Amino acid sequence: MTTADPKGAREHARAQAGTRVAAMPTLPATAEDVPEGARVVWEETLASGGYSAKRLSRGTRLRLIDLDADACVSMLAFNAEMPTERLNIADTLKVQWNAYIGEGKVLLSDLGRVMLSVMTDTAGTHDAFCGASNQASNARKYGQGFNHSPYPNARDRFMLGVAKFGLSRKDVHPCLNWFKGVKVEEDGATTPQIGPFTAGRQVILRAEMDLIVVFANTPHVLDPRDGYHVTPVRVTAWKGEITPEDDMIRTSTPEALRAFLNTEDYYAR
């Protein structure tokens, strides 16, 4: 079979039907390990150096699983209806009087609304300080760092993801890193928490707004190891109910309640 002419190229392309690799979206989205009766809307495995982006509706549950104990998933989040509103890491930490993100915490937008709630966290090592790697940082460490090199960086991966929604370089804001942590010591020094960890650690988030989420699975910018170490992460999302008024995360603190009220006021229209 030759691909030098249109007919040969068509036959070659159609012969790939049904081929699956480890890292790719499942279409239509299906998953067996979700709550009974749940409608799955996203099922994908992100490879080492991979990225993805998706629009999710309010109430959706979003699960990330560190399959082989060495993932580092950097995340951006935008209000899907008005992407100028986006995740604000500084306010997320400041408003909750806490430097670390984990179960029971919320992720806030730059307008004081809750965007996501952390429903489950079996990892406990996440980073809201260091941001994303870039081409220069990867080039210094690995010799190359551009998008189509063997060592892609998180920021350039983000730019591919946001472009799917008409956004650009200026929209790549400070990110949250899941599964690799940074501990702030008493003297102010930052100690990266890189592992080794246990395979299968997971985070389950609840979308409190209609969102665009963008992921890049690349090594943490403070990873002290010489090689480009990052392993696949599984992403699954399914439809869920909007947060009720008596939800434990919603009522956990005065600050969380205010953020939920701000979000609910936005949707009251």
Residue 188, CA atoms < 13 Å, CB-side half-sphere: 0
- pTM (two decimals): 0.95
Beta carbons within 8 Å of 157's beta carbon, 6+ residues apart: 49, 50, 51, 147, 216, 218
Do 103 and 201 meet the contact criterion of CB atoms below 8 Å apart? Answer: no
Name the residue among 82, 90, 74 with its Cα closest to residue 131.
74
Beta carbons within 8 Å of 144's beta carbon, 6+ residues apart: 138, 150, 151
pLDDT (tens digit per residue) in 124-177: 999 999 999 999 999 999 999 988 899 999 999 999 999 999 999 999 999 999
Do 229 and 219 meet the contact criterion of CB atoms below 8 Å apart? Answer: yes
Q: Is the peptide bond before 232 cis (omega within 30 degrees of 0)?
A: no
Range ranked top by mean pLDDT from 15-29, 137-151, 211-225: 211-225
pLDDT (tens digit per residue) in 109-132: 999 999 999 999 999 999 999 999
Q: Provide the pLDDT for residue 1.
A: 60
